[in-house]
């Protein structure tokens, strides 16, 4: 397995990516001279399984209960990797695959993957492009895909944001705003129940800037609920239902010490907030060191009809974007 690093940059930002998992390795903000996301250090560290650090997750980001769904009258059994459930595409999801770089210019990189029929149990031969692109202080992640059969697809990037000048500091000094009046209720295994709940009068309300550290310390640290390596309810791991807006605004993350702010925009219907309470990698990464804002469709969507559909029609091209504005 040969892992290669590719770079795009302009006078505002430098973006480094890896071909394994079409991974986002660095978002370097030149004005402050700091990388804004976590990584594993050496690119060779990505050869082994990790906490999806910067990876493209697929075929299906998030969880699907009992690792199965039905399309038409046909049942599909998927490769479970979290108990009986499947998380982020299975044991060998898109994060573990070497993607082919098909285009590389000064401000744009395009990766491509061809996922065969029954890959991790999913039907259809699926072709996916992951596009990283710069424009001034705007940074884009775009996905394009199509399949030759009816199938379910949900892609996201799993970067851990940390806007501190010193990455050894946690995210408790970060303030977050999410453009969402509702979130998905989940069970103890973080599988959506199908109920969509209001954020009003709850700890899950981020409609105004709220301090991450304050919310976690007051509501989670005294009652830690750790079920497995990937299920730890001593922090946030929730899907928010983004309010429909013309400008596609999703969320805003800012650091009160470094004065750095990242605004997120996307045409996808949800965003997964994860505060890295389970994160651990050797002596380099630790819990609450990063914050994920994973724009995506809803977990468990193949089994809950009222959720926005992730069903892809044969030979139809699907395109989605996420934009980050760094200030």
Task: Give strand pairing partners of 14.
Answer: 9, 28
At residue 231, the pLDDT reads 56
Query: Average pLDDT in the 293-313 region?
Result: 98
Supply the pLDDT for residue 1. 81
Structure-token pair, residue 76: 């599909």
Segment 123-147 mean pLDDT: 98
pLDDT at 227 over 60: no
Phi, psi of 137 (to 5 degrees): -95, 20
- What is this structure's pTM? 0.95
Q: Minimal CA–CA distance to 29: which of 255, 277, 322?
A: 255
Q: Is pLDDT at 322 greater than 80 in this prediction? A: yes
Q: How many Å apart are CA 179 and CA 57, to the nearest integer?
A: 23
What structural domains and CATH numbers belong to the chain? Answer: 5-326 (2.70.98.10)
pLDDT grade for 283, boundaries at 50, 70 and 90? confident
Residue 96 Cα to chain centre, angstroms: 15
- How does residue 220 score in pLDDT terms, banded at 50, 70 and 90? low
pLDDT at 245: 81
Token reading at 125: 């031969």
Cα angle for residues 186, 171, 18 (degrees, 5° grid): 85
pLDDT-derived band at 80, boundaries 50, 70, 90: very high
Q: How many distinct helices (H) and strands (E) make up the chain?
A: 1, 26
C-alpha–C-alpha distance, residues 255 and 175, integer Å: 6
CA-to-CA separations, 132 to 145, 160, 252, in angstroms, rounded: 15, 17, 20
Q: What is the mean pLDDT of residues 228-246?
A: 81
pLDDT given at position 225: 52
Distance CA 322, CA 249 (A): 10
Question: How high is the pLDDT of residue 211?
Answer: 97
Does residue 223 surpass a pLDDT of 60? no
Helices (H), the chain: 212-219
- What 3-state class would DSSP assign to 46? helix
| Residues with Cβ within 8 Å of residue 66, at least 6 apart in sequence | 84, 85
Residue 304 has pLDDT above 60, yes or no: yes
The mean pLDDT value for 174-178 works out to 98
Q: Quote the CA–CA distance of 138 and 140 in Å, as a whole number.
A: 7
Mean pLDDT of 210-227: 74
Task: Tell the burial category of 314 from Cβ atoms under 10 Å away from its Cβ (0-12, 13-18, 19+).
Answer: exposed
User: Cβ-count burial of 91 within 10 angstroms (0-12 exposed, 13-18 middle, 19+ buried)?
Assistant: middle
Token pair of 256, please?
């009160």
Q: Tell whether the model's pLDDT for residue 82 goes beyond 70.
A: yes
């Amino acid at each position: 397995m040969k892992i290669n690093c590719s770079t795009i940059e302009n006078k505002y930002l430098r973006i480094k990516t890896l071909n394994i998992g079409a991974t986002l390795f660095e978002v370097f903000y030149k004005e402050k001279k700091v990388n804004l996301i976590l990584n594993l250090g050496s690119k060779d560290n990505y050869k082994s399984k990790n906490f999806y650090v910067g990876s493209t997750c697929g075929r299906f980001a998030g969880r699907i209960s009992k690792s199965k769904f039905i399309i038409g009258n046909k049942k599909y059994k998927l490769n479970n990797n979290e108990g009986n459930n499947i998380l982020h595409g299975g044991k060998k999801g898109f994060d573990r695959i070497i993607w082919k770089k098909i285009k590389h210019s000064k401000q744009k990189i395009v990766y491509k993957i061809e996922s065969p029929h029954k890959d991790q149990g999913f039907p259809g031969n699926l072709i996916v492009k992951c596009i990283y692109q710069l424009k001034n202080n705007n940074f884009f992640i775009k996905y394009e895909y199509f399949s030759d059969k009816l199938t379910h697809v949900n892609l996201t990037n799993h970067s851990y944001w940390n806007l501190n000048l010193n990455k050894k500091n946690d995210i408790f000094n970060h303030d977050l705003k999410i453009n969402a009046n509702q979130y998905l209720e989940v069970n103890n295994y973080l599988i959506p129940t199908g109920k969509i709940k209001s954020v009003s009068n709850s700890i899950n309300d981020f409609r105004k800037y709220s301090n991450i550290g304050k919310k976690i310390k007051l509501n989670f640290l005294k009652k830690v609920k750790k079920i497995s390596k990937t299920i730890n309810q001593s922090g946030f791991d929730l899907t928010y239902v983004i309010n429909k807006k013309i400008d596609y605004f999703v969320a805003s993350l800012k650091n009160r010490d470094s004065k750095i702010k990242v605004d997120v925009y996307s045409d996808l219907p949800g965003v997964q907030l994860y505060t890295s309470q389970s994160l651990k990698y050797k002596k380099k990464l630790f819990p609450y060191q990063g914050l994920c804002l994973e724009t995506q469709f809803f977990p468990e969507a193949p089994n809950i009809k009222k959720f926005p559909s992730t069903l892809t029609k044969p030979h139809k091209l699907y395109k989605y974007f996420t934009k980050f504005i760094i200030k």
